[in-house]
Structure 1
Amino acid sequence: MTIVKYMLRLLALVSLATAMSSGVVHAAEVNPGAVVALQAPLHTLQVDIAGIQNYDERGAENNVVLDFYVGPGASITSFRWDVNVTSYVGSYLSEMKITFSDTLGNGVTFTPGDGDDFDGTMDYAGYQDLGELGLVFNVGADGILRLEFHDGFKDLGFDEAEGVWNAGTLSFGIMPVPEPSAYATVLGGLFLLAVAKWRRHC
């Protein structure tokens, strides 16, 4: 194999590493002998929500907001819930919501009791791959995933809780963006491998 072919392979590997900076590499075609890049390992953030009160509509100052560091530019790819919630008399289970987003508010609003237009206590559990809905999003450069617990409509008095998240967990699938130093290490190793193969064939 000529040096030109080795250089072309190396160029392809550099392009592949550049594509990995987006967090996901899509293979348009699989060819025998092609180099396949694996996605970065998927991590899970699990949040215990026991005892969190539901107060007001999104953006209100008295809502409970939790911030979690997941890494700059990390993708939020899936969501699992297993919760027990109570909506107080005068409000609805279908109004209890969680918005998980970047710090600018770009993300997903989730309603476990969607369609349950009554008060009371219920268990809800499930899993959603956000990619299936086209709702995968990236956090910002600050690396913060923000959870805001809020209500869909303020039924009760000012500063009065509309409900409570009695118990349970929320789990988020997170695809981190590899550090630049990781790219340098991979590219350096690939370059040395290409040079060694070229020398053997000279």
Structure 2
Amino acid sequence: MKNLKPVRSVMFAAIAACAIGGAANAADLTKTVTLSDVASNTYLSWEGNTVVEVDLGAQSHLNTFAWDVTLTANEGSFLNEAFVQLSDSQQWNQLYFLPSFLADPDGGYHAGTAQYSGSVDFRHLDTGAEQGDYSFSVGQDGILRLEFAENIDGVAGADAIWNSATFTFGYTVAAVPEPASYGMLLLGLGAVGAVARRGKSLVVNA
């Protein structure tokens, strides 16, 4: 039993060293995506829409969104019918971006071309009906899915064209152990092995 006590003490020290070394704080990161001539053709999830996948990294949490877009609604369609769904790859968590709905004086009830820019913090989002935290995690695969779609399929072919679109996503990633912590942990486990071997030899020589 005397040989077990040093081993347990070293294991505790290794765990304590890892905890004291700590994990890096969740990192605040941004990723910018620039697109051009992207069509919104029809209803959400129907064939023919453009889908863009943005890799933010596993379990990343989407917090903010900024945009600078030029959008054209073709004749027979309205600017406020074009939108982008932001979701995880499985579409469990979903937010919808309609650039013209609040920005246009008439609510976007017309065809033509317009430019929109702005930003939003999903953690403090005021929808008009309620205010709350609408930020979400993208999942283990790290994919943020963007689908360009239409509320109403009013014309044959593309209802709207996103002539240019620059999207900037603000997100955090899960905290990870710092490299120094790994080193301290490995050193501690090495000491465990050394004490265990020495303990075994002491038993043999007893």
User: Normalising by structure 2, what TM-score?
Assistant: 0.69
Paired position in structure 2 for 1:143 = 142
2:160 to 160, 163, 166: 163
Please give the secondary structure, in 1, of the residue aligned with 2:89: coil
Contact persistence 1:101–1:146 (CA under 8 A): yes
Displacement of 1:107 in angstroms is 2.2
CA distance in structure 2 between the partners assigned to 1:39 and 1:127 by the alignment: 25
Q: How does 1:86-165 map to 2 (within 5 A)?
A: 86-105=72-91, 106-114=93-101, 115-133=107-125, 134-157=133-156, 160-165=157-162
Distance 1:56 1:155 in 2: 8
- Superposition RMSD in Å: 2.6
Alignment-derived partner of residue 62 in structure 2: 76
Q: Which runs of 5+ in 1 are unaligned?
A: 1-6, 21-37, 193-202
Per the TM alignment, residue 74 of structure 1 is displaced from its structure 2 partner at its CA by 0.4
The residue type equivalent to 2:108 in the other structure is: D
- For residues 136 and 70 of structure 2, the distance between their equivalents in structure 1, rounded to whole angstroms, comes to 27
Q: Measure, in 2, the Cα distance between the counterparts of 1:43 and 1:171.
A: 10
Alignment partner for residue 178 of structure 1, among 161, 172, 175?
Answer: 175
The unaligned stretches of length 5 or more in structure 2 are: 1-11, 102-106, 126-132, 188-206
Give the C-alpha shift of residue 183 in structure 1.
5.9
Cα contact 2:25–2:175 (8 A) shared by 1: no
Is the Cα contact below 8 Å between 1:71 and 1:177 reproduced in 2? no
**2:27–2:175 CA contact under 8 A, matched in 1:** no
Number of residue equivalences: 159
Quick one: distance in 1 between partners of 2:96 and 2:181? 38
TM-score (norm 1): 0.70
Cα-to-partner distance string for 1:24-64 (whole Å, 9 max, x where unaligned): xxxxxxxxxxxxxx742211111112110110111011100
| Contact 2:75/2:111 (<8 A) preserved | yes
Q: Please tell me the residue identity of whatever aligns with 1:166.
A: N
Which has more radius of gyration?
2
Residue 187 (structure 1) shift: 8.1
Q: Which amino acid aligns with 1:118?
A: H
Q: Distance in 1 between matches of 2:164 and 2:97?
A: 17
Sequence identity percentage: 31
How many angstroms apart in 1 are the aligned matches of 2:141 and 2:98?
26
Q: Secondary structure at the match of 1:80?
A: strand
Letter in 2 for 1:143: G
Instruction: State the alpha-carbon separation in 2 of the partners of residues 57 and 86 from structure 1.
Output: 17
- 8 Å Cα contact 1:85/1:123 also seen in 2: yes
- Report the counterpart of residue 44 of structure 2 in structure 1: 58
Structure 1 residue 174: deviation in Å? 1.5
